[in-house]
Amino acid sequence: MDGDWQSTACILCECNCGIVVQLDGRSLAKIRGDKEHPASQGYTCNKALRLDHYQNNGNRLTSPMRRRPDGGYEEIDWETAISEIAAGFKRIADTHGGDKIFYYGGGGQGNHLGGAYSGAFLKVLGSHYRSNALAQEKTGEAWVDAHLYGGHTRGEFEHAEVAVFVGKNPWMSQSFPRARTVLNDIAKDPGRSMIVIDPVITDTAKMADFHLRVRPGTDAWCLAALAAVLVQEDLCNEAFLAEHVTGVEPVRDALRDVPVGEYAQRCGVDEELIRTAARRIAAAESAAVFEDLGVQQAPNSTLCSYLNKLLWILTGNFAKRGGQHLHSSFGPLFRHVTTVGRTPVTGAPVVGGLIPSNAVPEEILTDHPDRFRAMIVESSNPAHSLADSAACRAAFESLELMVVIDVAMTETARLATYVLPAASQYEKPESTFFNLEFPHNTFHLRHPLLEPLEGTLPEPEIWARLTRALGVIDDAELRPLREAAEQGLAAYAQAFLTAVGTNPMFTKALPFVLYETLGPTLPDGLAGAAALWGLAQKAAMTYPEAVRRAGYNDGNALFEAILASRSGLTFTVHEYEDDWQLVTHADHKIALYMQEMLDDIGGLSDAPAGLTTPEFPIVLSAGERRAYTANDIFRDPSWRKRDADGALRVSVEDAEALGLSDGGRARITTAAGSAEASVEISETMLPGHASLPNGFGLDYVDTDGHAKVPGVAPNSLTSTQWRDAYAGTPWHKHVPARIEPVAVVVSTA
């Protein structure tokens, strides 16, 4: 075993907690939290300790693969793969237009650098339609954010007097630094409170002072009632609203008309509990709110995003310690704009530049002249992760050209024309752009722990080879920049500005230019980090004072520190009053008025609270996060110590009514499909509500060479038609279903 502990990060959720690793050959033999990491400070959950199951799984690809006419695959060399793929995409761009090439991905939870380089290849071809996992979750919230203040907010839970979690179980899903430590601190402090809105008695709900246990799909009624209490009982922070918020009166008028008692009955929560929780928020010195998939993948999701933000805006919990904050960004994940584009075939909403995932099959399976004809998938598995897996498979198989870049032969890769094997996240420089904290925001460039597995390449090199094959930039054009890079960053910066100003193609292919010229001069195999130089310059120009407070005089100083800081660094330090400058409206005020949302608030009284029918009477939440579930990069299930088959959780009442037994089998049927699962009877579930975990239904080959598929693939049961009206986000957490016991056949032979 190698004696040195090496710094890197976990890649299983957006926190990307710092870890240190001891290697045994190519195995991640020992893992523990990195105390030097500025955000996680040594914290990690149990899942990070199992990361060798990702690094050394039996599904790793080690050669480019090309589909044969018979549907099988053959290994080809990299030169052949690159030349054929580049020629194929150029042919489609020349014949049909580059906008017929669709890109899905940009990296997993910690695999974002490759996505930074994809843009050069795509822009040169004229491709601009894209999507990723964020379009399954966050686009409705992003659209609301754009209207209200122009950016993403994050609660400062470490210091909040009241923490509100809406459809969120941070004990299990983490999502902010040191989540379990922070939750324990809140729970133990008699001066602080936790409010949870969730139909399930989650681990977080068990710790809460107020558990508003809504019926599935009725969060909007609960949130509207909470906001209405603030208005109707005169609990708003009037001084804050008068000074910092516009459009208040129409919102106040809408909330005055909300029948709190009726809405309490609709959502199944005691009216006095709702009123007490609202009063607690209003009385607190600080309050912070976190919404997540429980509402973002359910009916009224965009309305819920608007309503839960009213809780902290009406009470003045912004730009103060323990409140809600805008934050700096190192590599922005969204374009926060109020305008909504439309997809070329179905006219589905394009929010923040992302096509809703539910629309993807419909944008392909048509004879429309503007349909997508080719697709690139990078570090994603949409054939498994998007709604209605069968429709996705049919769509992907119909494409003229599909290329998948991944570490494994995923469900999506098996539908591709070509599959390109990527180096793992621990075999290359890598980072995440989930840099979401305030007042201290962090960035971590992870150095490679290992050389790439033979036959694989890091994504920056894959994209560079593809861009070279297009022949749009002559090598001689890059020579002056290469020479300047050898002289240092100051000389390079000057030469770079000159080159970009005089060569339009350089502007299109910026990441490629950086990789080809600055990349070779970077130490320790960090060529893939070249794109971060441009982002460091942008951060220093966008947040000059905050970057200087963090200790860096300019973008070059920040970039050099990023290269040298093995455990990550703080790149911005804000002061609370900076929040107002981060509001993008010209007057730097929160713009509360959104007519669409006020119309929806007014319509709640007559709106159905659910989608269930006599045929499908139970609400299925597909994709619940549990202690031993993770994203698709954990294909080998041997890391799980319990719940190995991904049990269907049902209530005690439903089990009795349906004749289900704990540990028995059940068939789940929806309008989209049917599957069989083991049963877990749980008091955490309400009658009429069941759940299946995420991360199951992935095939793998066991040590005996047998192919197995444990558990249910959740999206075999979901539908592309169940989606939010504003953002197109799917309703994975609210799928009408029928559940029936499966009789066990006992052989008498």
Spell out the alpha helix ranges (H) of 583-729: 595-603, 652-658
Q: Where are the domains of the chain?
A: 5-56, 65-128+373-432+451-567, 142-329+587-601, 610-741
Tokens representing 748 are 């008498």
Predicted structure pTM score: 0.96
Q: Which residues contact 618 (CB under 8 A, 6 or more apart)?
A: 612, 654, 688, 689, 690, 736, 737, 738, 739
DSSP string, 1-60: ---S-EEEE--SSTT--EEEEEEETTEEEEEEE-TT-TTTTT---GGGGGTHHHHT-TTB
pLDDT at 632: 81
φ and ψ of 128, to 5 deg? -140, -5
pLDDT at 748: 56
Alpha carbon separation from 308 to 182, 244, 450, 602, 645 (Å, rounded): 21, 18, 45, 16, 35
pLDDT at 747: 54
pLDDT at 475: 94
Task: Compute the distance between CA of residue 610 and CA of residue 215 in angstroms, rounded to an integer.
Answer: 9
Closest CA to 181 of 41, 329, 370: 41
- SS3 state of residue 708: strand
- With both helix axes pointing from N to C terminus, report the angle between 459-470 and 510-517 in degrees, rounded to the nearest 10: 110
Task: Compute the distance between CA of residue 395 and CA of residue 359 in angstroms, rounded to an integer.
Answer: 11
Q: Which residues contact 735 (CB under 8 A, 6 or more apart)?
A: 619, 620, 621, 622, 670, 672, 717, 718, 719, 722
CA angle 282, 287, 293 (to 5 degrees): 115
Task: Compute the distance between CA of residue 575 and CA of residue 391 in angstroms, rounded to an integer.
Answer: 49
pLDDT at 749: 53
Residue whose token pair is 């010229």: 517
Task: Compute the distance between CA of residue 714 and CA of residue 78 in angstroms, rounded to an integer.
Answer: 35
pLDDT at 407: 95
Say if CB 148 and CB 742 are below 8 A apart.
no
Its CATH architecture, for the domain 5-56, is 2-Layer Sandwich (3.30)
pLDDT at 95: 98
CATH class of 65-128+373-432+451-567: alpha beta
Tokens representing 159 are 């210091």
Q: Which tens digit of pLDDT belongs to each residue from 446-502? A: 999 999 999 999 999 999 999 999 999 999 999 999 999 999 999 999 999 999 999
Q: What share of the chain is helix, strand, coil (3-state, %, to 5)?
A: 40, 20, 45
pLDDT at 743: 86
Q: Which residues of the chain are modeled with pLDDT < 50?
A: 1
Q: Which tens digit of pLDDT belongs to each residue from 137-192? A: 999 999 999 999 999 999 999 999 999 999 999 999 999 999 999 999 999 999 99
Q: 552-575 burial by CB neighbour count: b if 16+ within 10 A, else e?
A: bebbbbbbebbbebbbbbbbbbbe
Between β-strands 401-406 and 374-378, what pairing exists: parallel, antiparallel or unpaired?
A: parallel
Task: Compute the distance between CA of residue 74 and CA of residue 91 in angstroms, rounded to an integer.
Answer: 23
Containing 676, the helix (H) or strand (E) segment is strand 674-681
CATH superfamily of this structure's domain 142-329+587-601: Dimethylsulfoxide Reductase, domain 2 (3.40.228.10)
pLDDT at 311: 98
What is the CATH code of the structural domain delimited by 610-741? Answer: 2.40.40.20
